[in-house]
Amino acid sequence: MPMKMGWRWYGEGNDPISLADIKQIPGVTSIVWALHHKMPGEIWEEEEIKEVVDQIHSYGFDAEVVESVNVHDDIKIGLDTRDGLIENYKTCIRNLGKYGVKVICYNFMPVFDWTRTDLFHPVGDGSTALFYEKDKIKDDYKSMAEYILNFTEKYNMTFPGWEPERMARLDELFKAYAPVTKDMLWENLKYFLEGVLPALEETGIKMAIHMDDPPWDIFGLPRLMVDEKACDKLLKMVDSPYNCLTLCTGSLNANPNNNCAEIARKHHDRIAFAHIRNIHHFPNGDFSEAAHRDCCGETGIIDVLRALHDSGWEGYIRPDHGRQLWEEGPGVCRPGYGKYDRALGTQYMLGVWDLLDKLDGEKK
């Protein structure tokens, strides 16, 4: 089985799910990790990296995927300070390379990472899931941010990309991004990738950009990684095997016109990492996250897995958000990152994959 099944882990003392828990899920071999206390732009020191990698290795997992080393806003905006920050990023890459890291997942979204209006929305069967109500994401960015930040504060949980220090400067950030058009943001992404490329070539690490979530402009902020065309453009713009994608099916398919299986077929050799998540769409444009089983949403999970499998894909894959099940109410788990539904998701994916392996074997 060439693909490697991963699990996102938020670290000792930060994640209610332990490495010992994860060890009991059949087929998980790779821990997707990060130094969650780091602000964008900060250097990840070798001792800090070693500590986490050692913890992961002691359970027999590999620690080859980092999600995320977040990119500083000044790089996205294209400020003069960016060169120093790119140097810092290269130092992080080199330090991670010393400890066997092979893939860095990152995003290039202005201001906000993923955006949702309800973190515990009833699915209808007693479970809850992250939900996006289109009409709530119009111009009032403050109330959306407040909703998320009140949650993180109340339950004393940090969300990557939602650092309170950055969120406290929202107005300032919006002002700084105001002159940044979509074309400029593409240029700034190119500048960043070309800047870090020498460190990638030296270490063999692949930078795998995450899709924008949701894949459209929000609150007047431009978003780039929104469809197949954007994937084409990104890969061509810096045509290096180290410039790769994180194919996040749930992010892309929030726009139901995005066919993730098609993108997987086309770009399998540049997809270093895949996030598998299913979306259920409502006619008014709202969407809910759904169980991984193909028929629970419209993302086409089986088609995506088949596209990757057919291509002999050898990347890392992980269940992305799951629903919150059973006792997983607010405060029990990070929204989307409970234990049960992601474990079910891994088994669903591995079930599909094992069957495809078997069918291939029988053909030979």
Q: Which residues bind ligand CS2 (CB under 6 A)?
A: 67-68, 105-107, 113-114, 160-161, 210, 213, 248, 275, 320, 336
The question of whether 268 is a catalytic residue gets the answer no
**Residue from 121, 321, 333, 341 carrying the catalytic annotation:** 321
Question: Could you give the C-alpha distances from 283 to 137, 250, 255, 256, in angstroms and in order?
Answer: 17, 17, 12, 11
Which stretch, 4-12, 51-59, 120-128, 313-321, contacts Mn ion (CB under 5 A)? 313-321
The question of whether 321 is a catalytic residue gets the answer yes
Question: Looking at beta carbons only, is 41 or 215 nearer to Mn ion?
Answer: 215
The question of whether 281 is a catalytic residue gets the answer no
SS3 322: coil
Question: Looking at beta carbons only, is 107 or 346 nearer to ligand CS2?
Answer: 107
Residues 244-303 close enough to bind Mn ion by CB under 5 A: 248, 275
Strand segments (E) across 165-228 = 206-210
> What CA–CA distance (Å, rounded) separates 115 from 118?
9
- Report, in Å, the least distance between residue 339 CB and ligand CS2: 15
> What CA–CA distance (Å, rounded) separates 175 from 79?
13
The answer to whether 348 touches 292, Cβ cutoff 8 Å, is yes
Question: Looking at beta carbons only, is 73 or 320 nearer to Mn ion?
Answer: 320
Question: Looking at beta carbons only, is 106 or 353 nearer to ligand CS2?
Answer: 106
The question of whether 74 is a catalytic residue gets the answer no
- DSSP calls for 67-133: E--PPPHHHHHT-TTHHHHHHHHHHHHHHHHTTT--EEEE---SS-SS--SEEEEE-SSS-EEEEE-
**Residue from 248, 260, 296, 333 carrying the catalytic annotation:** 248
> What CA–CA distance (Å, rounded) separates 106 from 266?
21
Cβ contacts of residue 146 below 8 Å, gap of 6+? none
Question: If we measure between CA atoms, which residue out of 273, 105, 101 comes closest to residue 204?
Answer: 101
Which stretch, 33-41, 51-59, 236-244, 318-326, contacts Mn ion (CB under 5 A)? 318-326
- Report, in Å, the least distance between residue 132 CB and ligand CS2: 12
Count of CB atoms within 10 A of residue 153's CB?
Answer: 11
**Residue from 89, 320, 341, 348 carrying the catalytic annotation:** 320
- Report, in Å, the least distance between residue 115 CB and ligand CS2: 10
- Report, in Å, the least distance between residue 358 CB and ligand CS2: 30
Residue with tokens 């050799």, as numbered in its chain: 269
| Residue 227 binding partner per list Mn ion, ligand CS2, none, with a CB distance cut-off of 5 to 8 Å that depends on partner kind | none
**Residue from 73, 106, 132, 210 carrying the catalytic annotation:** 210
Question: Looking at beta carbons only, is 114 or 348 nearer to ligand CS2?
Answer: 114
| Residue 288 binding partner per list ligand CS2, Mn ion, none, with a CB distance cut-off of 5 to 8 Å that depends on partner kind | none
Question: Looking at beta carbons only, is 300 or 319 nearer to ligand CS2?
Answer: 319
> What CA–CA distance (Å, rounded) separates 231 from 209?
10
- Report, in Å, the least distance between residue 328 CB and ligand CS2: 16
Burial 117-129 (b: 16+ CB within 10 A, else e): bbbbbebeeebbb
The question of whether 275 is a catalytic residue gets the answer yes
Per rule CB under 5 A, count of chain residues that contact Mn ion: 3
Question: If we measure between CA atoms, which residue out of 93, 101, 2, 94 comes closest to residue 56?
Answer: 101
Our measurement of the distance from residue 133's CA atom to the centroid of its chain's CA atoms, rounded to an integer in Å, reads 21
| Residue 132 binding partner per list ligand CS2, Mn ion, none, with a CB distance cut-off of 5 to 8 Å that depends on partner kind | none
| Residue 333 binding partner per list Mn ion, ligand CS2, none, with a CB distance cut-off of 5 to 8 Å that depends on partner kind | none
Told to check if 320 binds Mn ion by CB under 5 A, we report yes
> What CA–CA distance (Å, rounded) separates 293 from 127?
15
| Residue 163 binding partner per list Mn ion, ligand CS2, none, with a CB distance cut-off of 5 to 8 Å that depends on partner kind | none
- Report, in Å, the least distance between residue 341 CB and ligand CS2: 14
The binding site for Mn ion (CB under 5 A) comprises: 248, 275, 320
Catalytic (active-site) positions: 210, 248, 275, 320-321, 337
